[in-house]
Each structure stands twice: as structure tokens, then as C-alpha cells.
């Protein structure tokens, strides 16, 4: 599942694997809203899936809550990373991440 502004931002993926990419075009103007709603509504296949979520920190955090608290997935089956935060430059985002990690260790 990938969210983009509109169809002009969609990318082609190559390779030998079988990948089903679902594109979400931003309809509300709010980044992440459509993607988070789609993940929350997703019916996972039988068994315990492995989930890979990387993107903007705000909506990664919301998806994280859904995966761990609502669905009860084990942490070793989920890869999460907030690569950036809206409204922050690289230095500001890295400082915020370091502060959050420090608080979580305390």
C-alpha cells in the first residue's frame, strides 16, 4: 500500500517477484489519512503476517498502534520506521527522534 498525491506520482516497480501494489491517491489533502484508514480496514490473511511500514512518522505511529494494540501482532513480525516528519527538516527530525528514544529508555 502506497499513498501518493495523485496518479502522476505512481512509480513502476521491476523485478522477478510477484508484488501487488495498491496505490492510494490523497483525497482529503491530509497526508496519511487514506492509507491509515486502509490499513485499519485490511483483513490480514490467515496466520501471522510480516508487516513492513515505513514512511512519515505521524501515520507510521498510528499504524503501529493498530498493529500492536488493536491486532496484537508480535513485534518480531513488524518492521516500522518513521523516515521523516511533516514540518521538520532533517536536523529537526533527527533531534526529535533522539529525544523520544532517550525518553523511552528513562
Structural domains in the chain? Answer: 2-105 (3.40.50.80)
Q: State the pTM of this model.
A: 0.78
> Which whole number is the average pLDDT over 64-92?
90
d(CA 102, CA 61): 17
Angle at CA 44, nearest 5°, toward 41 and 46?
150
For the chain, the average pLDDT equals: 88
35, burial (CB in 10 Å: exposed 0-12, middle 13-18, buried 19+): buried
Helix (H/G/I), strand (E/B), else coil: 76: helix
Q: What is the predicted pLDDT for the residue at 29?
A: 67
Q: What is the predicted pLDDT for the residue at 17?
A: 79
d(CA 90, CA 66): 27
Amino acid at each position: 500500500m502506497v499513498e501518493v498525491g495523485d496518479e502522476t506520482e505512481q512509480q513502476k516497480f521491476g523485478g522477478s517477484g510477484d508484488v501487488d501494489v495498491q496505490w492510494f491517491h490523497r483525497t482529503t489533502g491530509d497526508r496519511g489519512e487514506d492509507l491509515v484508514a486502509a490499513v485499519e480496514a485490511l483483513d490480514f490473511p490467515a496466520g501471522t503476517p510480516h508487516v513492513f511500514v515505513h514512511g512519515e512518522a505521524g501515520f507510521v505511529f498510528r499504524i503501529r498502534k493498530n498493529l500492536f494494540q488493536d491486532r496484537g501482532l508480535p513485534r518480531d513480525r513488524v518492521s516500522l520506521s518513521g523516515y521523516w516528519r511533516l514540518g521538520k527538516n532533517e536536523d529537526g527530525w533527527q533531534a526529535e527522534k533522539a529525544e523520544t528514544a532517550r525518553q523511552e529508555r528513562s
